[in-house]
Chain A
Amino acid sequence: MLTLHCPYCGVNADETELDAGGEAHIKRHGPGSDDNQFHDYLFTRENPKGVHLERWRHAAGCGKWFHAARCTATLEVFGTYPAQVYEPPQDIKDAISAKRPGWSWREFE
């Protein structure tokens, strides 16, 4: 079972307290963008075997959204970080690099 550290209330929350929110760091392509960009924004998702960045919500707890970096193959969690960022903070990137050298996920590495 997955246990994620909620960066807001500081508890190690059990998966049953959380809601999965899909892929993290999706850039919205709205007015002014072309059909392909809008299509990708709506439908195109990563499906990696390995490092993945996701959104989670501490639904039964403080109710806040946060981000998690984890491995889809081993369920290893590299770290969690607040939702108010456009990319994973450096310490999260470092934690992933320590375990998965040479990793990349979309434009991040």
Chain B
Amino acid sequence: MSDPVSAPVSAMNHASYVGIARVEETGLQGMITLRGDLSSATLGKAIKAATGQGVPDVRRVAVDGDSGACWMSPDELLLLVPYAEVEAKLAALNETLKGEHALAVNVSDARAVFRVSNGPAREVMAKLAPVDLSPGAFEPGEIRRTRLAQVAGAIWMEEDGAFRVICFRSVADYVFKLLSVAAQPGSEVGVF
């Protein structure tokens, strides 16, 4: 706590765990919840300007590095932007969306982001969520809002087979422990 006043810290401050897979909290990530009519051209333009991505299809993500757009529900997206730029992006977004029936809110500090990689990530996630994660049923670029044991979370798969997990910041410690237990050595199931 060298600088308790000004430096923002992510929920788990980059905690990591290595078992059959690597679990890490990825740190600060700018996140904007956007609700509105996803078929609107103005909304599409605003999303393009903020993230460089188009409006994702149902249950799809379009993410490049720490920028992108994730489908959340028929009228909601989660926009990912670099943490340092979130306020500027939000202001630009609200400017473009003036007159639109839409709402954009900065939720960066209300969420935590984890990455599960290096190993049987599918298996680790399948222990926690009631989702068919078998190859063919769940592939890179797909997102699923679901339940991680007892809390809500969103998971998507990256091109290299790693999973990103987003949960509420208030349950970040719980989710980190969940993922760590699901990834502990000797816990391979070998089902996929």
Contacts and interface: CB of A to CB of B under 8 A. Distances in A.
A17 B130 contact: yes
Interface string A59-93: 01111100000000000000000000000000000
Given A10-B59, A17-B130, A61 B74 contact: no
Interface in A27-67: 60-64
Given A10-B58, A10-B59, A62 B74 contact: yes
A62 to B, nearest CB: 4
A63 B59 CA distance: 13
B59 A16 contact: no
A11 B144 contact: yes
A45 B147 CA distance: 31
Interface size range of chain B in the complex: 10 to 19
Contact of A62 (B72, B130, B132, B147): B72
A14 interface: yes
Interface string A1-31: 0000000111111101100000000000000
A10 B130 CA distance: 15
Nearest to A3: B130
> Which residue, B72, B76, B147, has most C-beta atoms of chain A within 10 A?
B147
B127 interface: no
A8 B74 contact: yes
A interface, over-half SS: loop
Given A14-B130, A62-B72, A9 B58 contact: yes
A74 B109 CA distance: 46
B146 interface: yes
B152 interface: yes
A64 B72 CA distance: 11
Contacts of A11: 59, 131, 144
Nearest to A62: B73
Closest 6 CB pairs of A and B: A14-B130, A62-B73, A60-B147, A61-B145, A8-B74, A60-B152
Interface of B: 58-59, 72-74, 76, 130-132, 144-147, 152
Interface of A: 8-14, 16-17, 60-64
10 contacts: A9-B58, A9-B73, A9-B74, A9-B145, A13-B130, A16-B147, A60-B146, A60-B147, A62-B73, A63-B76
